[in-house]
Amino acid sequence: MTRLIVGLGTCGIAAGAEETFRSLAAKLAGRPGLEVGRTGCIGMCYQEPLVEVRNADGARYLYGRVTPDRVDRVLDEHVGQGRPVDEWLVWTDRGGGSDQAFLDRQRRIVLRNCGVIDPESIDEYLAAGGYQALEKVLAGIEPDALIATIIESGLRGRGGAGFPTGVKWRYAREAPGDRKFIVCNADEGDPGAFMDRSVLESDPHSVLEGMILAGYAVGADHGYVYVRAEYPKAIERLTIAIRQAEERGFLGASILGSRHSFHVRLKEGAGAFVCGEETALIASIEGKRGMPRVRPPFPAVKGLWGAPTSINNVETLANVPWIVLHGASAFSALGTEKSKGTKVFAMAGRVRHGGLVEVPMGITIREIVHDICGGIRDGRKFKAVQMGGPSGGCISSELEATLIDYESITRTGAIMGSGGLVVMDDTTCMVDVARFFLEFTQRESCGKCTFCRIGTKRMLEILTRITEGEGKEDDLPLLEELADRVRQSSLCGLGQTAPNPVLTTLKYFRSEYEAHIANRKCPAHHCQKLLTYTITDDCSGCMLCLKACPAHAISGERKKVHVIDQARCTVCGECYRVCNLGAIRRE
């Protein structure tokens, strides 16, 4: 059987993959030996729609940007004549695709099934080794031994702070109480992050299996997946996976005939960023307003409805079945001394190959950006990466040799976070980046803490003023003082880390702040109110800029140099955009 498999994750659907799927299904109908199937996201989001041709001998050929008009050629040449269409081929297990390095340089544990199996088929998950870890544990591994395995593996929480997963489980197991809970935190709210969404859409059973194993370890028989309502495809496939697991006896009472029972429910979050914080998340599940509370007691001791609760994020739980099957030593062999295993990153921004990558801990920022993801788009200069979302920070390209591990990233002033990695080039204004992320955290503040609620508001006002050319000399020390007060006085992680983008951009790009204040200029030519457009003597008088100007600020005759009336110019940039001769100077 030759199978043609279409990537139907959210990224693929947005690029038109459903139309490609329907076109393939119609053309293959009634043709023996050929089958069309679905899968999730393999990570090459920049090449969607993706279609894999999986030959009868097991050979795999992945084609990029397969729109419906390209389907016939793939069917005629590859399927019909056995000749791969080389110019559309992005990866093959035989080597030679145009983007071969993107997948071949990764080490995929969490993403092992993503883009490989049908996420709506439990049979394909089972064929890929699914639920074997659960069977192995229930056949004779005691809960304490399972916890010891996870501790020995070195797995740390992939949701932010990197707390050892096995230690968290042990705290919950040792906490007194007859009722305990497991919560999967899938409230992925960082701008530019889509790791959890892709895993849930592409391999939901691996997360469920990780939750069942966590429940066995801590003595919990109920679990919740707290997932953003903005992830409809993830919710749909999770719902299907839960039903299938219940029908096959992997979820419910007396799992596989054992004494262990485990039930899972979905809780859809309403999009509040603060609900990614575990105590706010707990309040939301309980039907209360999502607001953090003072810790201790920690959720492992007193969590959901006052019962001991272990909260782990999607990526953490997806690692667990692999560790159980392959052993703690196989996982700990990857990474660095204190940061074991792999890490999934959502690559966004100005990088050429945006999407999902999974790499061993200890790889450098440079290797991810340049070697795996193809470097910067349009030949621009690499400037910085934003890591850890609004709670993280900006790391200068001068530190591109920094290792990807918890300790090294923390030393830069950023944090690993859940794994969003936004790449920036020399057209990015770092002052405006800090303003953007602070605007996000200020808007998402629950308002409980005065310094978080008011301090971030004052910081945002200062940053806005600087980007509009109204900055003052004492703004920078005032920003730093406010940042320190907000960090020291906020209750939860959102407020404590909200100043990070400001502090890291001040640390690595202070000269940009100074240029905005002293010179009233944006070195990146990004901040609109600090720009000036002028027409040079290279102007041919083609009149394109005159026609494009919405403010009628440009005057001149055909074949003569035009002029911009600065008093009327709204600095919209339309003249700069349409000029074919480079005769518009932007300063």
pLDDT at 470 over 90: yes
Q: pLDDT tens digit string along 544-585?
A: 999 999 999 999 999 999 999 999 999 999 999 999 999 999
Helices (H), 262-367: 278-285, 314-326, 328-332, 365-366
**CB–CB of 285/266 below 8 Å?**
no
**Beta bridge partners of residue 225, listed in sequence order:** 184, 266
Question: Does the N-terminal peptide bond of residue 49 adopt cis geometry, omega within 30 degrees of 0?
Answer: yes
Q: pLDDT tens digit string along 208-237?
A: 999 999 999 999 999 999 999 999 999 999
pTM: 0.94
**Maximum average pLDDT range among 317-326, 412-421, 484-493, 521-530:** 317-326
In the structure, what pLDDT confidence band is assigned to residue 417 with cuts at 50, 70 and 90? Answer: confident
Q: Which of 389-393, 453-457, 522-526 has the lowest mean pLDDT?
A: 389-393
How many CB atoms within 10 Å of residue 123? 12
Class of domain 430-519: mainly alpha
Q: How far is the C-alpha of 547 from the C-alpha of 535, rounded, in Å?
A: 15
In the structure, what pLDDT confidence band is assigned to residue 404 with cuts at 50, 70 and 90? Answer: very high
The CATH code for residues 342-425 is: 3.10.20.600
pLDDT at 252 over 90: yes
Q: How far is the C-alpha of 186 from the C-alpha of 162, rounded, in Å?
A: 16
Position 390 scores a pLDDT of 87
Tell me which fold the domain 2-98 belongs to.
Glutaredoxin (3.40.30)
Q: pLDDT tens digit string along 67-107?
A: 999 999 999 999 999 999 999 999 999 998 999 999 999 99
Q: How far is the C-alpha of 450 from the C-alpha of 438, rounded, in Å?
A: 16
pLDDT at 160 over 80: no
In the structure, what pLDDT confidence band is assigned to residue 494 with cuts at 50, 70 and 90? Answer: confident
CATH superfamily of 122-328: NADH-ubiquinone oxidoreductase 51kDa subunit (3.40.50.11540)
Residue 437: which of 497, 479, 522, 521 has the closest Cα? 497
Overall average pLDDT of the 309-324 stretch: 97
Q: Are strands 51-54 and 60-63 parallel, antiparallel or unpaired?
A: antiparallel
**CB–CB of 346/356 below 8 Å?**
yes
Class of domain 531-586: alpha beta
Q: Residue holding tokens 């690993």?
A: 416
pLDDT above 90 as % of the chain: 92
The CA-based dihedral angle spanning residues 380, 383, 389, 392, taken in that order and rounded to the nearest 10 degrees: 170
Overall average pLDDT of the 100-124 stretch: 97
Q: Where are the domains of the chain?
A: 2-98, 122-328, 342-425, 430-519, 531-586
**CB–CB of 341/109 below 8 Å?**
yes
461 secondary structure, DSSP code: H
